[in-house]
Amino acid sequence: MSAILQEISEKLQKGKMKEVADLTKKALDEGIAPLTILNEGLMPGMDVIGERFKNNDIFIPEVLIAARAMAAGTDVLRPLLVGEQMEQKGTVVIGTIKDDLHDIGKNLVRMMMESKGLNVIDLGNSVAPAKYIEAAKKHKADIIACSALLTTTMVHIKDVVAAVAADPELAGKVKVMIGGAPVNDAFRESIGADIYTPDASTAAEKAVEVCAAMHA
């Protein structure tokens, strides 16, 4: 990795938005390809953040700050990547389940997934099962990701699983990933969802793995 890409990674990990944007512009001026800056500067920095978060070395505020720094860098690259078209690793439709207004965890998962090169369609919070289905069809999603923070709302996730299974366009083609504080693998098994992950970093890693297998 060149010195400037290393510096981009390090500044991103410290959440230095302006420095990341400036260094990204500088790397472009030096003739480094936009995709190289993304794949060898920005993404490795966010991978370190994801690993540290998973190991409880850092917490949600630090992750959000780093994710904003990553966004500052990708904003510089985005106009240049349209022609070069960064490789999409898969599409995820994400939202907090119906009647649940909590979205910090969901936002964190979205940022982690985006930092891994996934195309993420964020439906927001209190998302009705039918809306997940509609979005999955519209965007040709590989994964529907549902989160819940309340035990009273997590029951609605099974309606999403049932709706996917009942839809001929989606059944057997779209995986349902679930997560959130009251959710666990036993609950996933009881409702027939495909994937449970305990944290944002693991969710992003698993989503990339699942999409790669589906597109192999």
Residue-range domain boundaries for the chain: 3-84, 91-215
Is the separation of the CB atoms in 176 and 164 below 8 Å? yes
CA-closest candidate to residue 43, choices 34, 31, 30, 54: 34
* pLDDT at residue 82 in the model: 61
Is the separation of the CB atoms in 92 and 49 below 8 Å? no
* pLDDT at residue 86 in the model: 57
* pLDDT at residue 87 in the model: 63
- What superfamily does domain 3-84 belong to in CATH? Methionine synthase domain (1.10.1240.10)
Residue with tokens 């779209």: 174
* pLDDT at residue 60 in the model: 87
Is the separation of the CB atoms in 136 and 93 below 8 Å? yes
Taking only the tens of pLDDT, the chain with its 216 residues reads 699 999 999 999 999 999 999 999 999 999 999 989 998 999 999 999 999 998 999 998 999 899 999 999 999 998 887 655 556 789 999 999 999 998 888 998 998 998 888 999 999 999 999 999 999 999 999 999 999 999 999 999 999 999 999 999 999 999 999 999 999 999 999 999 999 999 998 999 999 999 999 988
Fold of the CATH domain 91-215: Rossmann fold (3.40.50)
**Residue 58 and residue 54: Cα distance in Å, rounded?**
8
**Residue 140 and residue 155: Cα distance in Å, rounded?**
25
SS3 state of residue 175: strand
Number of CB atoms found within 10 A of residue 83's CB: 7
* pLDDT at residue 123 in the model: 98
pTM: 0.84
How far apart, in Å, are the Cα atoms of 190 and each of 87, 147, 183, 184? Answer: 35, 16, 11, 10
Are the folds of 3-84 and 91-215 the same? Answer: no
* pLDDT at residue 78 in the model: 84
